[in-house]
A and B are shown apart, each in its own frame.
Chain A
Amino acid sequence: MLEYRMPSLGADMESGFLREWRVKPGDQIRKGDIIAEVETQKGIIEIEVFDEGTIGELLVKVDDKVPVGTLMATIIPAGEAVPVTAEKAPAAIGIPAAEVAAAEEHHIRASPLARRIASEKGIALSSIHGTGPDGAITRDDVEHAISARMAPEAKPELQKEPPTAPKEGISETKSAIPSAPVEVIPTKPTSAPGFSTETVRMAVAAAMSKSNREIPHYYLETRIDMCSALNWLSEANKQRPVRERLLPAVLLIKAVARALNDVPDLNAWWEDGLQRKASINVGYVVSLRTGGIMVPTIHDADSKSLDELMQALNDLIPRARALRLRSSELADSTITVTSLGEGGVETVYGVIYPPQVALVGFGGITEQPWAENGMLDVRPVLTATLAADHRASDGSTGSRFLTAIKNYLQQPDKL
């Protein structure tokens, strides 16, 4: 029997409210499946399991406040026999309506893929019309149902929303689909109930206070000539349809990830000493328009191509803004990157997100005088800073790291 406990979704988290179970006893689960939605200061987080097996018991009730580490559910590992519990045996009387509905789901013809997607999105199969062989529900049918729920009020030309369209609301509208036409087109980005920009603010406050209290920061800074990187990017984007264009941020993320391969001491957590991390998971700071920040994780950034990094951003940023991230996307980062983008200030001195040991800050790219080989030129210049934990590393390590980033950005075609 395995135990599933409330995960910590960041150094600052003490507890969360269980808002929805996505599974019930007897359900098969696989690594990476989402089993519940937990409300934290950072929004509604979908929490994932890392085991394979069958859900045994659910030990926490919806809307309970659950401290980190609390036993939430038991999982019967794959291969072990699933005991037939009393409540699963057919009862003569008083079967709860929910269980009847769940039982009916098993008799609906649906492809395994359709069933999986519907379950991930929290959509009842019984509400979907099947168009496959013998009326089976296929992936297309589920996806139509999802898009119908996402924008029931949207005008036809707005149905093909870019990925910025907030994807929340699917689980909330499980049974009740609003039918009255609504004039306002977009839903609010934070339609999940019970938290607000203030709670995000408080989460940032707690993490940053802890960081400044505990981490002896040191700072290094270097200026980087972005001429070849931007030229390369502009040429690359000319060859691409708009939908596949790259932003400078992906070059920066990739350069950081590559540099971490060279200087692994900065890809680490400080928890009772330095713990180097094997995977390079870059936390990328997304600022919320209403104030506050979210830092979703790009997993294994060093092995992702620039296109894959761009896809990751396309996926993560809208969900971060809508406060709809998964637990692994909040808790796994091994370093943080913040990029202020164009039009802003030139230099950013970051505050490390514990238990990480480093944060890379990129200012805006501005035209500046640049001396090279005894000549003066005007170049697009980026200021990169490193905030690092002096318990974990020293200035020479940090210097090698920033220099590596600088060198990678001179050869954008090799990133």
Chain B
Amino acid sequence: MSGKIVELTVNGRTVEEIVDPMEPLQSVLRNKLGNMATKTGCKQGGCGSCTVLVDGEPIVSCLLPAEAAVGTEITTLEGITPDDGLAPVQEAFRDHFAMQCGYCTPGMIMTAEALLERNPDPSRAEIEDAISGNVCRCTGYDPIVDAIEAASESMNGQGDDGA
């Protein structure tokens, strides 16, 4: 299989990488660039655990050929994590126990991040709609919706009455 050199911009850094034809972005992020926060739940676009942002839009990176992401801004969970501490969404997920096993969490947080960027004050129904492509099998979705709601409030300066 002949690889091809492409330029990808991941978390603000432009890198050159050899990718295989039709190699999913998810595989390049994990196996070649070491962004292990991008998980591997199904490799068929069904679970959302590999969600990253491409030009701010949440996409399942297992279905996007890496070559198709050339010229875009790719953001993984590593990219939204501050050098010190946590981003408001991350803090809200932690403090509202919006996870058990943690496997869906990175994808869930990326989806939440994209939602709050687009819609800083979403209703619960809008939050539920936004995360409908992200499967959680442990926690149930209520604490996740609570966390995203709390993150929205804290980002809008209304404080977080969570844990």
B partners with A: no
